[in-house]
């Protein structure tokens, strides 16, 4: 347990430049509190203990603003930055070195049974307010842009943005997701359409000019 706590503290120092001391992390980081309480609740959940894991989960939600169902499976070096409003469903599976920002939902899409929440690979970054819904897999090294809604599986090494989420970049760069420099697929589509219209207008003008020349010759 002490090794896990040390690893969690090291992860926060690595991911958050605002972290200044171990004491500050212990006292002021809700993501740190939420993951430690989840580790305890998940262990009791796996043992089949009734009610107590959910009580721990709801207590954690009250204290931190982060709701993690005790059934969720979470890998090592997991970090929730700020954390308010994060919701992680029961059958969610999260790999190692995953980073979530505030307002993220890893949820289901209805009343289906069995595996109904997403699976996140290793080194995934999910931006502020993003929603990843359903029993889908988000591959390794994927970056999900702020405010995106992802309802389809995403292959490894991609960046996904938009509603619904679209893959806009392959072979995502390592490091922090830069929310202010995300591609805009809708804007790009509009630009492409405007360029195509301009090209067609140019062709049409040339055809009209040629027709007028032919008409004058006659």
Do residues 78 and 104 make contact, with C-beta atoms less than 8 angstroms apart?
no
Q: What angle do CA 168, 174, 178 make, to 5 degrees?
A: 60
| Predicted local confidence at residue 141, as pLDDT | 93
Percent of the chain past pLDDT 70, that is, above it, reads 89
Look at residue 189 and tell me whether its pLDDT is greater than 80.
Answer: no
Instruction: Output the six-digit token pair for 13.
Output: 């120092």
| Predicted local confidence at residue 209, as pLDDT | 79
Q: Are residues 7 and 42 in the same domain?
A: yes
| Predicted local confidence at residue 182, as pLDDT | 61
Q: Are residues 103 and 188 in the same domain?
A: no
110-128 residues labelled b (16+ CB within 10 A) or e (exposed): eeeeeebbbbbbbbbbbbb
- Asked, as a colleague might, if the bond just before 128 is cis with ω within 30 of 0, I would say no
* Whole-angstrom distance, CA of residue 177 vs CA of residue 130: 13
Q: Are residues 23 and 37 in the same domain?
A: yes
Instruction: Output the six-digit token pair for 59.
Output: 């207590």
| Predicted local confidence at residue 135, as pLDDT | 92
* Whole-angstrom distance, CA of residue 86 vs CA of residue 123: 18
Window from 3-12, 22-31, 141-150, 205-214 with minimum mean pLDDT: 205-214
Q: Are residues 70 and 170 in the same domain?
A: yes
Q: Are residues 171 and 200 in the same domain?
A: no
Beta-bridge partner residues of 74: 94
Q: What is the biggest distance separating any 2 CA atoms in the chain, rounded to whole angstroms?
A: 95
Look at residue 27 and tell me whether its pLDDT is greater than 80.
Answer: yes
For the question of whether the overall pTM of this predicted structure is more than 0.85, the answer is no
- Asked, as a colleague might, if the bond just before 110 is cis with ω within 30 of 0, I would say no
Section 22-46 average pLDDT: 92
Q: Are residues 86 and 169 in the same domain?
A: yes
The boundaries of the domain holding residue 198 are 184-218
Q: Are residues 109 and 215 in the same domain?
A: no
Q: Are residues 90 and 148 in the same domain?
A: yes
Mean pLDDT, all residues of the chain: 86
pLDDT in tens, 117-165: 999 999 999 999 999 999 999 999 999 999 899 999 999 998 999 888 8
Q: Are residues 120 and 210 in the same domain?
A: no
Q: Are residues 82 and 167 in the same domain?
A: yes
Q: Are residues 106 and 42 in the same domain?
A: yes
pLDDT in tens, 190-206: 777 888 888 888 888 88
| Predicted local confidence at residue 185, as pLDDT | 65
Q: Are residues 174 and 197 in the same domain?
A: no
How many structural domains comprise the chain? Answer: 2
Look at residue 171 and tell me whether its pLDDT is greater than 80.
Answer: no
């Amino acid at each position: 347990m002490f090794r896990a706590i040390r690893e969690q503290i090291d992860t926060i120092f690595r991911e958050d430049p605002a972290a200044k001391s171990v004491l500050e992390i212990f006292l002021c980081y809700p993501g740190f509190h939420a993951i430690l309480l989840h580790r305890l609740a998940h262990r009791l959940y796996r043992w089949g203990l009734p009610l107590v894991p959910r009580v721990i989960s709801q207590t954690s939600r009250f204290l931190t603003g982060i709701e993690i169902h005790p059934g969720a499976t979470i890998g090592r070096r997991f970090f929730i930055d700020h954390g308010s409003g994060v919701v992680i469903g029961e059958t969610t599976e999260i790999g190692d070195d995953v980073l979530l920002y505030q307002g993220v939902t890893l949820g289901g899409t209805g009343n289906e049974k069995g595996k109904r929440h997403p699976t996140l690979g290793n080194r995934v970054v999910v931006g502020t307010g993003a929603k990843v819904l359903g029993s889908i897999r988000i591959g390794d090294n994927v970056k999900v842009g702020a405010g995106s809604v992802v309802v389809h599986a995403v292959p490894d090494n991609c960046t996904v943005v938009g509603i619904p989420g679209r893959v806009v970049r392959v072979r995502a760069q390592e490091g922090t997701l830069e929310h202010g420099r995300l591609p805009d697929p809708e804007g790009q589509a509009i630009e492409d359409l405007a360029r195509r219209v301009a090209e067609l207008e140019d062709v049409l003008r040339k055809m009209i000019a040629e027709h007028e020349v032919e008409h004058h010759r006659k």
